[in-house]
């Protein structure tokens, strides 16, 4: 069993437990449930930098990344830096995140927020909406085509953008459907944890232009972004690169400035 299988197994137990404690009616009664959402896909289409910054305390491959910064400070720093949006890890066991992080980020900024989570159940979309998310992540590696369809169509009903993440050609082919907004290519091989930008380059030709193309993982330099832009990528998800510094917002600001200064 690889790490992804393990995470999904734990996630199913966690979601079942939450469902037994917090009814759907309670999520739908949240003040944020009625909030008009902001489209990350549109923000990326109209941006020069295309940076989606991330709040991440730790990960299975890196253990501790940053336990010191408050999510509110990080969010404000990213927004000031000019990030298009922010990804907030809400998985507790493996990434040290929570839905409270999403709530605190939402209270601090106006920019689009992505709930980064291992989504396997419609209940998690209602949670995302109730805690102020604008975007949800669906991971093709853990979902069937039917599940991707059901979840992405519900997301559209809730006015949430959908970023679907793929790792290879097989996942991409099973996933393409009209209810997605963005297609993210994860450059990290989930079995070996090795990272290669060639994954984004190879798959870019197979992604229809209707979708905003996003490259994820292993992007730590402005050169990497300049390398990927000719392949049609509009979004670049950067997590550890900013979070491993003492001031993620300042790191993002310097990074985005240097992108905008390049010809």
Whether residue 247 lies in the annotated active site: no
- Identified catalytic residue from 216, 234, 240, 251: 216
Whether residue 165 lies in the annotated active site: yes
Whether residue 116 lies in the annotated active site: yes
Question: What's the longest Cα–Cα distance across the chain?
Answer: 54
Angle at 244 between CA 243 and CA 248, to 5 degrees: 40
Whether residue 56 lies in the annotated active site: yes
- Identified catalytic residue from 165, 200, 240, 241: 165
Question: What would the 3-class secondary structure string for 74-109 be?
Answer: HHHHHHHHCCCEEEEECCCCCCCCCHHHHHHHHHHC
- Identified catalytic residue from 54, 79, 171, 240: 54
Distance in angstroms (rounded) separating the CA atoms of residues 98 and 160: 19
- Identified catalytic residue from 186, 200, 215, 241: 186
- Identified catalytic residue from 39, 87, 217, 241: 217
- Identified catalytic residue from 116, 129, 213, 234: 116
Closest by Cα among 67, 40, 66, 38 to 51: 40
Distance in angstroms (rounded) separating the CA atoms of residues 28 and 169: 37
Distance in angstroms (rounded) separating the CA atoms of residues 188 and 237: 12
Whether residue 217 lies in the annotated active site: yes
Distance in angstroms (rounded) separating the CA atoms of residues 28 and 39: 21
Tokens linked to 13: 């137990």
Around Cβ 246, how many Cβ atoms within 10 Å? 9
- Identified catalytic residue from 56, 129, 213, 234: 56
Active centre residues (catalytic)? 54, 56, 116, 165, 186, 216-217
């Amino acid at each position: 069993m690889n790490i992804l299988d393990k995470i999904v197994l734990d996630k199913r137990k966690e979601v079942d437990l939450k469902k037994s404690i917090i009814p759907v009616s309670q999520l739908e009664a949240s003040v944020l449930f009625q909030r008009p959402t902001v489209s990350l896909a549109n923000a990326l289409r109209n941006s020069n930098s295309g940076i989606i910054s991330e709040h991440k305390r730790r990960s299975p491959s890196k253990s501790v990344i940053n336990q010191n910064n408050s999510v509110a400070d990080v969010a404000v720093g990213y927004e000031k830096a000019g990030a298009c949006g922010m990804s907030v890890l809400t998985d507790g066991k493996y990434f040290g995140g929570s839905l409270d992080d999403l709530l605190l980020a939402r209270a601090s900024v106006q920019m689009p927020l992505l709930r980064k989570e291992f989504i396997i159940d419609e209940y998690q979309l209602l949670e995302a909406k109730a805690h102020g998310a604008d975007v949800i992540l669906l991971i093709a590696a853990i979902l069937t085509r039917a599940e991707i369809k059901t979840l992405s169509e519900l997301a559209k009903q809730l006015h949430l953008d959908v970023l679907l993440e793929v790792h290879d050609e097989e996942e991409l082919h099973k996933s393409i459907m009209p209810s997605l907004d963005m297609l993210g290519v994860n450059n990290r091989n989930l079995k070996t944890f090795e990272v290669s930008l060639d994954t984004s380059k190879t798959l870019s030709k197979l992604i229809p232009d209707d979708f905003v193309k996003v490259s994820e993982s292993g992007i730590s330099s402005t050169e990497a972004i300049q390398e990927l832009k000719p392949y049609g990528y509009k979004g670049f998800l950067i997590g550890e690169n900013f979070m491993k510094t003492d001031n993620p917002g300042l790191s993002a600001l310097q990074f985005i400035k240097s992108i905008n200064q390049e010809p």
